[in-house]
Amino acid sequence: MISMLAAVRQLMSACEDSGEITEAADPEDFLTLLGFLWKIPASPAGEARVKRLLVLAFRGLGADV
C-alpha cells in the first residue's frame, strides 16, 4: 500500500520530469499547505481564497497556471 506522502512524491517527480513544474518542492511541505487549505471555511469567499492560494503554490513550483 502506498502512503499519501509517497504518492505526492511520485506525482511531483512525474511533473518535474515532464516539465510541468521546474523545481521539486518537499512533498511534506505541499501536504502541509493542503492541510491549511482544508481549514478555510466552505463559502464562496473561502473557495475563492483556496483557488488563489493554489495558484500561488503552483506558480511557486513553476507551473503555468
Alpha-carbon torsion (56, 37, 47, 15), positive or negative? positive
45 phi/psi in degrees, rounded to 5: -65, -40
pLDDT at position 24, please?
A: 67
Whole-prediction pTM = 0.69
Nearest-angstrom CA–CA distance, 43 and 45: 5
Give residue 47's identity as a one-letter amino acid code. Answer: E
Query: What are the pLDDT digits (tens) for 1-38?
Result: 679 899 999 988 998 888 888 776 788 988 888 888 88
Give Cβ neighbours of residue 28 (< 8 Å, ≥ 6 apart).
Answer: 5
Per the structure block, which three cell numbers stand in for 2? 502506498
